[in-house]
Amino acid sequence: MIPQANKEPSTGHIQIDRLRVRFGRNSATIEAVSDVSMTVRPGEFISIIGPSGCGKSTLLNVVAGFVRPSEGKVTVDGKTTDKPGADRGMVFQQYSLFPWLTVRRNVEFGLKQQGMQRSQREQAARTLLGLAGLLAFENHYPEQLSGGMKQRVGIVRALATSPQVLLMDEPFGALDAQTRIVMQQILTNMWQRFRLSVLFITHDIDESIFLSDRVYVMTARPGCIKAEIPIPLPRPRTPDMASTPEYLALKHKLRNLISEESLKAMGGELKDGGLGGFSVEVGPGGITELV
Ligand SMILES: Nc1ncnc2c1ncn2[C@@H]1O[C@H](COP(=O)(O)OP(=O)(O)O)[C@@H](O)[C@H]1O
Ligand SMILES: [Mg+2]
């Protein structure tokens, strides 16, 4: 028998075709996502990066089955994502653990829903918690954990039901820089061990390079794909790669693409907020003159 780790994954194929999402009706319509097409192949780690409000969460929510497309089609392994399903695990930025359940019971939750027997699901949860270095905390409640630990439990919980894809919406956005780096390494380990596909949203250019096989850059709202950047850096990736010319060239390219869009997004916000024509003059005293 071929060991699991050597097997090429064959599931976890996300296909997004000409996706368009509008919210509201008639004159109050907002187009959040505009004509997005992208592919995540089985086992790939793909990031999406783009300015705030450009439709990243909306896009991910369509894949998760929480939001319906206005036009276009999204499938996972050929099945339209018209409702949430056990084939797709989700991790949000805000910690979404059940506060009244212990760490282990949080991880067991999805397994219980799937009808797994108590002793079996306890064992499965303990194995996964062990992999994430959390076994000693199995009987703690979420409020007793640090932010990084809560998010580790969130990942373990999403993995417990053996999904084919993991959908992550800025999962490390609220963590400090050091914790974030550790979390990125834990996530990479879990991804390689479980051989699943990951669709990961981030604001952070370094994070997208460190984690991904490819990065999609979105435009300002209504978001469409501005560029698709392959990240050909070898794995395992280490923090010292950040000073190599290859890494710096990727970072430079991504930064240029994103800053153009962020400026556009901010311009739009100022106009929408009725600040058109508002100008600020800063004299020799600098910004302090304004306060
Ligand atoms: N349920 C909703 N109803 C109305 N507008 C929404 C809804 N969800 C998101 N939007 C709007 O769609 C745009 C994209 O939002 P979102 O996908 O959250 O962006 P991002 O995650 O890139 O910051 C924003 O202008 C947001 O206000
Ligand atoms: Mg968002």
State pLDDT tens for residues 16-29.
999 999 999 878 89
pLDDT band of residue 268 (cuts 50, 70, 90) is: low
- Average pLDDT in the 262-291 region? 53
Rg, the chain, Cα only:
21
Atom 2 (ligand 1) nearest CA: 23
6 has a pLDDT exceeding 60 = no
What pLDDT does 27 receive? 81
Q: Tens digits of per-residue pLDDT, 58-97?
A: 999 999 999 999 999 999 999 999 999 999 999 988 878 9
Quick: pLDDT tens for 33-42: 999 999 999 9
Neighbours of 226 (CB within 10 A): 17
Reply yes or no on whether the pLDDT at 1 is more than 80: no
Report how far residue 250's alpha carbon sits from residue 235's, in angstroms, rounded to the nearest whole number. 16
**Nearest Cα residue to atom 6 of ligand 1:** 23
pLDDT score at 279: 42
Q: What pLDDT is recorded for position 280?
A: 42
pLDDT confidence of residue 291 = 32
- The pLDDT score that the predictor gives to residue 260 is 86
pLDDT at 45: 98
Residue 202 has pLDDT above 70, yes or no: yes
Beta bridge partners of 48: 201, 216
Mean pLDDT on 136-161: 95
Is residue 281 predicted with pLDDT exceeding 70?
Answer: no
- Measured between its terminal Cα atoms, the distance across the chain in Å is 71
Residue 276 clears pLDDT 70, i.e. is over it? no
Percent of the chain topping pLDDT 70: 89
Asked if residue 231 has pLDDT above 50, the reply is yes
Tell me how far apart the alpha carbons of residues 64 and 69 are, in angstroms, rounded to a whole number: 12
| Closest ligand relative to 169 C-alpha | 2
User: In the chain, what are the domains?
Assistant: 32-87+196-272 (3.40.50.300)
Ligand 1 site residues (CB inside 6 A) read: 23-24, 30, 32, 52-58, 221
Q: What's the mean pLDDT when you consider all of the chain?
A: 89
Atom of ligand 1 nearest to the CA of 24: 4
The answer on pLDDT for 101 being more than 90 is: yes
> What distance in angstroms lies between residue 22's CA and the mean position of ligand 1's atoms?
9
- Between the CA of 201 and the centroid of ligand 2 the distance, in Å, is 8
CA of 53 to the centre of ligand 2 (A): 7
Q: Would you say residue 221 has pLDDT above 70? A: yes
Residues of 43-75 as b/e, b for ≥16 C-beta within 10 angstroms?
bbbbbbbbbebbbbbbbbbbbbbebebeebebe
Pair 78, 244: CB distance under 8 Å? no
Q: Which residues fall within 8 angstroms of residue 205, CB to CB, at 6 or more apart?
A: 49, 251, 254, 255, 258
What does the alpha-carbon distance between residue 89 and residue 98 come to, in Å, rounded to a whole number?
16
Say how many Å lie between the CA of residue 291 and the centre of ligand 2: 32
Question: Which pLDDT value is given to residue 54?
Answer: 93
Read off the tokens for 4.
Answer: 């699991």
| Smallest CA separation from ligand 1 atom 17, residue | 55
Mean pLDDT of the region 118-123: 96
